[in-house]
Amino acid sequence: MSQLFKKLGWVGIAVLGAAAIGGIALNRGESINTLWFITAAVCVYAIAYRFYAAWIAASVLTLDETRATPAERFDNGRDFVPTNRWIVFGHHFAAIAGPGPLVGPTLAAQFGYLPGTLWILFGAVLGGCVQDMVTLFFSMRRDGKSLGQMARDELGSIGGAAALTATLAIMVILIAVLGLVVVNAMKHSPWATSTVAATIPIAMIVGLYMRSIRPGRVLEGSAIGVMLLLLAVVGGGWVDHNETLRGLFDHEGLPLAWAIIAYGFMAAILPVWLLLAPRDYLSTFMKLGTITLLALAIVMLRPEVKMPALTQFIDGTGPIFGGALFPFVFITIACGAISGFHALIASGTTPKLLANERDIRMIGYGGMALESFVAVMALIAATVLEPGVYFAINSPAGVVGKEAADAVARISSWGFPVTVEQMQMLARQMGEKSLFARTGGAPSLAVGMASIFGSAFGQGMLALWYHFAIMFEAVFILTTLDAGTRVGRFMLQDMLGNIWPKLGETSWMPSVLLTSGVIVAAWGYFLYIGVIDPNGGVNILWPLFGISNQMLAAIALCVATGIFVKSGKLKQAWITGLPLAWLVTITTTAAYQKIMSADVRVGFFAAANDMATKLAAGVLPPEKAAVAPQLIFNQRLDAWLTLFFVTLLWVIVLDMLRVCARHLAGKPVPPISESPHEPSRLVEDYVRD
C-alpha cells in the first residue's frame, strides 16, 4: 500500500512539473508568476535526482557502500578525513557556488526568460550534475586525484597537458571578467566603492583576530566581520552624503581597474591568513545567507515576471551581447547549467572527505542541482524588472547612446517602454547617480534583489538593500579573484619548476613576485581593455569565458567517457557522451561564429577590420580613435585565443576517441588507474553522528 502511495506521489510530482514547465513555455500573457519557475525547478530536480541520478549510481557507476573510500584508507586528520555527508555537502556547495550563476543568467535574460530557464534546468540535470557526480566518483576511486592527473593517466600526456593549459587559461579570463563586473558596479558610485574598499581592512581585522587575538576562533571572528560588513554598507551611505568624502570615492572605470589590479597583486603575495582566508570566511557566510534570504523572499513574495518568454533578440541583434540564441544562450549560461570548473573541485578537496561511496549522489548530483537553483533565482531577479529598465541598465552606451534621452528612445523603440524620469527615480531610490549603461550584470541583479528584498522586508531601505547586494557580489567576486590569482601562481610555478627548479619553490620571494606578476598582468590586460572599450567589454569577455568554461567541462566529460569505454561500459557511456557531443557542438559553433562571422557585433576579425577601416578613413570620434589601435589588437588577439581554445578542445576529443577506438579494437591503451578494492571498516554510526 505504502509502495503504491509513493509511486502515486512521484506521478503527482511529474504531472505538476510538466504542468509548470508547460505553463512557463506556453504563457504569452502580460506576466507570469515566479511560483511557476520555482515549482518547475523543484519538480525537475526531484525527479532527476530520484530516478536518473539513482540509476546512474546503481547501474552505471555501481557505487559500492562496502568499499573503503580514500578518506577512510588515508585518514590523516588533515586533508583525508571521513566526514558526515551533510558537512561534505556544505563544503562542496560553498566551493562550487560562485558569482558565475548570478551573472550569466542575468545577461542571458536579453533573449527572454524561456531559453535561459530551460537550459538551466535541463542542462543541469542531464549535463552539469552528471559531470560533477561522475568526476567526483572517478577521482574518489583514484585516491582523490585531480582532473589533470586523471586525464594524463587515462588518456595520455596530451590529455593531461590540455587539461592543465585549459585550467590556467580559464582562470585568467574568469578573473578578468569578474574584475570588470566589479569595476562596472563601482564606477561613479561613491557608496559602492567605499563599501567595497572597506571590505579589505575588515578582512584584515578578522584575519588578525583569528590569528593572534583569539587563535582559531573562526565563528567569533566571522561574526565580527559580518557585523562590520553590514556597518560598511550603512557607512557607505554616509560617505555618499558627505561632499568631501564623496569625491575621494567617485572614480572613472580606469583608476578603479588599476586599483583592482594592484589589489590582486597584493592579495597574491600577502600571507593567506591576513587577507584571503578571512575574506573567504566572510564571503561564504554572506553568500549562503544572502542566497537563503533571496529564496525566502521569492517564495514569500512570488513576484510577477515581466520579461516576455522570448524577445526579438534571439536573432542575434541583442544590445547586451551580440549573437543568436543558438549557440550563445548555452555559452552565456555556463555556471548554473554545466560548469567545467566544478570538475576541479570534484577532483580536489571533496573526494578526500567522502566517508561512503553512496554519498556521491547527494554531493555530486545534489550539489549541482542546488547551484542550478541559484541560477534560476538570478534569472528571476533579472526578469522581475520592467524589461525597459533591465535593458537601460545593461545596454552599453556604445550601443544605445551616451545621453539618457537617446538611450530611452532607442530602448522604447524596441517595444520595451522606459522613460528618463523612471530611470532617475529608480537611481534615486537605489542611492545612485545614474543606472544607465551599468553593464556586467551586477547592478541589474542588485536592483532586482533590492526590489524583491524591499517588497518582502520593507520598502524604505531600497538604497541599503541595493548596496548590500553590490557588497555581497563584490565580496565573493574579490574572493574568487584572490584565490584564482594564487592558484594560477602555483600552477605557473609548478610549470616553470620543470625548467628551473628554483622557480618552483613556492616560498622563494623572487619567484613568487615574478609568477604573481605574470598572472596579474595576464588578467589585468583583459580587464584594462574591457574598461576602455566603449561597448562595455563584458560583451567580449563573457562569451570568451563561457567558451573556455564549456571547454573545461568537455575535457572532464572526455576523461569520463574514455574511462567508461575502457572499463567495458560502452553501452552506458552516453550519459557523459551525449552532454559531451552537445558541448562540442555549441562550443565549436560559437567559436566559429566568434572568429568567422561577418557581423561586427559577433565576429572578432570582422569587428577589428571594421574599426581599422573606420580609423583609416578618419570617421571615428576622437575619444574612440584614441583607443582604437588597442581595441583592434585586442579583437584580433581574442580571435586567436578562441581558435586556440577550440583547437585544444578538438585535440582532447580526438585523443579520447583514439584511446576508445584502440581499446575497442583490442589494442593496448593506458590501463585503468583505479585503486584496488578494500573493504570498509567504518561502522555506520561512527560517521553519521
Partner 1 sequence: MLCGKLGVLWRAVRQLSGDDAYERYLKRHAKHHPDQLPSSREEFFKQWQDSKWKGVKRCC
Query: Residue numbers of the site for partner 1 (CB under 8 A)?
Result: 77-79, 84, 86-87, 90-91, 94-100, 146, 174, 178, 210-211, 215-219, 222, 272-273, 276-277, 280-281, 335, 339, 341-342, 344-345, 348-349, 479-480, 483-484, 486-487, 490, 545, 549
Place of cell 557542438: 585
Q: What is the number of helices (H) and of strands (E) in the chain?
A: 31, 2
CB of 664 vs partner 1, minimal distance in Å: 34
**Residue placing its CB nearer to partner 1 in the complex, 360 or 491:** 491
Smaller CB separation from partner 1, 348 or 441: 348
Selection from 358, 432, 361, 364 nearest residue 392 by Cα: 432
State the minimum distance, in angstroms, from the CB of residue 275 to partner 1.
Answer: 11
- CA-CA distance, 549 to 338, in Å (whole number)? 9
In the bound complex, what is the minimum distance in angstroms from residue 132's beta carbon to partner 1? 11
Structural element, H or E, at residue 297:
helix 276-301
Complex with partner 1: residue 6 or 217, whichever CB lies closer: 217
What is the closest distance, in whole angstroms, from the C-beta atom of residue 498 to partner 1 in the complex? Answer: 19
C-alpha cell at 457: 522586508
Q: What angle do helix axes 34-47 and 2-26 make, rounded to 10 degrees? A: 140
Residue 109 Cβ, how far from partner 1 at the closest point, in Å?
19
Q: Whole-angstrom Cα distance, residue 685 to residue 51?
A: 27
In the bound complex, what is the minimum distance in angstroms from residue 559's beta carbon to partner 1?
16
Of 229, 147, 636, 645, nearest to 468 by C-alpha is 229
Residue written as cell 565563528? 219
Query: CB of residue 339 vs partner 1: minimum separation in angstroms?
Result: 7
Cα-based distances in Å from 598 to 181, 547, 592: 28, 19, 11
Distance in Å, CB of 338 to partner 1, minimum: 12
Looking at the Cβ atoms of 44 and 345, the one nearer to partner 1 is 345
Work out how close the CB of 79 gets to partner 1 at its nearest, in angstroms, rounded to a whole number. Answer: 7
- Which is closer to partner 1, CB of 96 or CB of 450? 96
CA 633 to chain centroid: 27
CA distance linking residue 570 with residue 456, whole number of Å: 52
Minimum CB separation of residue 87 from partner 1 in Å reads 5
Question: Can you tell me the distance from the alpha carbon of 151 to that of 655, in angstroms, rounded to the nearest whole number?
Answer: 10
Q: What residue type is 475 in one-letter code?
A: V
Residues 516 and 265 sit within 8 Å (Cβ to Cβ): yes
Nearer to partner 1, 490 or 525 (CB): 490
C-alpha cell of residue 326: 543558438
Report helix, strand or coil for 273.
coil
Q: Identify the three-state secondary structure at position 472.
A: helix
Q: Say how far apart CA 395 and CA 411 lie, in whole Å.
A: 9
Distance in angstroms (rounded) separating the CA atoms of residues 154 and 673: 7
Instruction: Give the alpha-carbon dihedral of 152, 158, 164, 167, to 10 degrees.
Output: -110
> 218 vs 578, which CB is nearer to partner 1?
218
Preceding amide of 327 cis, omega within 30: yes
**Which lies closer to partner 1 via its Cβ, residue 38 or residue 151?**
151
> Which of residues 285 and 416 has its CB atom nearest to partner 1 in the complex?
285
Residues 356, 71 contacting (CB under 8 angstroms): no
Q: Angle 147-154/157-186 helices, nearest 10 degrees?
A: 160
Q: Closer to partner 1 at the Cβ: 78 or 571?
A: 78
Q: Of 132 and 153, which has the nearer Cβ to partner 1?
A: 132
3-state DSSP of 364-409: HHHHHHHHHHHHHHHHHHHHCCCHHHHHHHHCCHHHHCCCHHHHHH
**Distance, CA of 688 to CA of 564 (rounded, Å):** 31
Q: Which is nearer to partner 1, 147 or 307 (CB)?
A: 147
CB of 39 to partner 1, least distance (A): 28
Instruction: Give the integer Cα–Cα distance in Å for 380 and 37.
Output: 8
Nearer to partner 1, 463 or 547 (CB): 547
Nearer to partner 1, 153 or 280 (CB): 280
Question: CA 29 to CA 249: how far, in whole Å?
Answer: 44
CB of 298 to partner 1, least distance (A): 23
* Choice between 166 and 464, CB closer to partner 1: 166
- Let me know: does 409 contact 391? Beta carbons within 8 Å: no
CB of 2 to partner 1, least distance (A): 26
Provide the minimum distance between the beta carbon of 215 and partner 1 in the complex, in angstroms, as a whole number: 4
CB of 345 to partner 1, least distance (A): 6
Minimum CB distance to partner 1 smaller for 172 or for 314: 172
533, HSE (Cβ side, Cα atoms, 13 Å): 27
- Amino acid code (one letter) for 113: Y
CB of 78 to partner 1, least distance (A): 6
Give the dihedral of Cα atoms 29, 33, 34, 37; nearest 10 deg.
Answer: -60
- Contacts within 8 Å (CB) and 24+ apart, 528-531: 528/254, 528/257, 528/261, 529/630, 529/631, 529/634, 530/176, 530/177, 530/180, 531/180, 531/183, 531/253, 531/254, 531/256, 531/257
**DSSP structural state of residue 468:** H
